[in-house]
Amino acid sequence: MSGAQTRTVRAGRRTVEVRRPGKVLFPAGDGHPEYTKGDLVDYYRSVAPFLLPHVRGRPLMLEMHPDGVDGPAFMQKNTPDGYPDWITRVEVPKEGGTVRHTVCDDSATLVHLAGQACVTLHRWLSRGDRPDHPDRMVFDLDPSGDDFAPVRETAVLLGELLDELRLPSALMTTGSRGLHVVVPLNGRHGFDEVRHFARDVADTLAAGHPDRLTTAARKKDRDDRLYLDVQRNGYAQTAVAPFTVRARPGAPVAVPVAWDQLDEPGFGPRRWTVADAVDQARTNPWAGVMSRGRALGPARRRLDALRG
């Protein structure tokens, strides 16, 4: 592969040309294997059936690493003019204008993006046809230091609270430092209402565990407590897509997991990589959860009752 300057990849009904497939994007080192652009393309083509349902129809922010993960990176919002015309775009409002985001609706688009050295897909929590109305709510849990145990413990507490509010929730490693807890919504609420609700959930949880958890936005106010981050629940904010690769050594992947996997030996935010994430995908850990989008009205009443 390293000697070839181009490679033709069949993806669905289309053929995509990948340039410089042998280019190293993830260098070997510290026990991690080397991965090339061709390896990234192969991974995304393999995981496409599992990844696409989570990004289809959604504006994306693309994390590009043209010189590999050790080189300069940039975030791409506007779709370049040179992208194939068969790739879907969506025009969404921003202050003072619009942005023409790329939308990944099929495996060919996924392969094309990987061929452009797009390592990570960051997705909107709403769809392009209703950009003001999210159908996902995300709680972002990252450790304050290197100890992952508080993240695992907090995820359990949050899951129990959401169960009490009768909201379905799903768990995902971020492939970086922490976990995301994702709640499917019915898409009838605006971002302000969703973020306000998420903040109240986080405040309720923090109030019950003030020595361990906080919603303080400023780091100097957190001490060593874990920050319950709900800031992704805003217009034009993004979260890493399920099964996307992260720009870290060894090519770790953000992977949906079942709640009982939290207790498995070796579990952590970078437990899965491009080498085995597809195997995890085949277990379908979110089976049935994402199709159960809920209204927030009943949950709001339950939450208000809990808060007194």
Domain boundaries, the chain: 6-124, 136-235+291-307
Domains 6-124 and 136-235+291-307 share a fold: yes
Look up residue 37 and give its two tokens.
């652009």
> In the prediction, which pLDDT does 145 show?
83
Q: Is the pLDDT of residue 282 over 60?
A: yes
Mapped onto helix, strand or coil, the DSSP state of residue 278 is helix
Does the predicted TM-score (pTM) go above 0.85? yes
H-helix or E-strand containing 36?
A: strand 35-36
The domain covering 6-124 belongs, at the CATH homologous superfamily level, to: DNA primase, PRIM domain (3.90.920.10)
From 278, 264, 275, 256, select the one nearest 179 (Cα to Cα): 256
Q: Which CATH class is domain 136-235+291-307?
A: alpha beta
Look up residue 204 and give its two tokens.
């309720």
Longest CA–CA separation in the chain, Å: 67
Neighbours of 182 (CB within 10 A): 22
- The per-residue pLDDT for range 35-44, each reduced to its tens digit, is 999 999 999 9
- The per-residue pLDDT for range 2-22, each reduced to its tens digit, is 446 999 999 999 999 999 999
Q: Which residues contact 56 (CB under 8 A, 6 or more apart)?
A: 103, 104, 105
- The per-residue pLDDT for range 172-193, each reduced to its tens digit, is 999 999 999 999 999 999 999 9
* Residues 138, 6: Cα–Cα separation, whole Å: 39
Look up residue 138 and give its two tokens.
């995300």
Q: Which residues contact 124 (CB under 8 A, 6 or more apart)?
A: 58, 59, 60, 101, 131, 134, 236, 237, 238
Q: Which residues contact 76 (CB under 8 A, 6 or more apart)?
A: 61, 62, 63, 64, 102, 118
> In the prediction, which pLDDT does 4 show?
66
Mapped onto helix, strand or coil, the DSSP state of residue 259 is helix
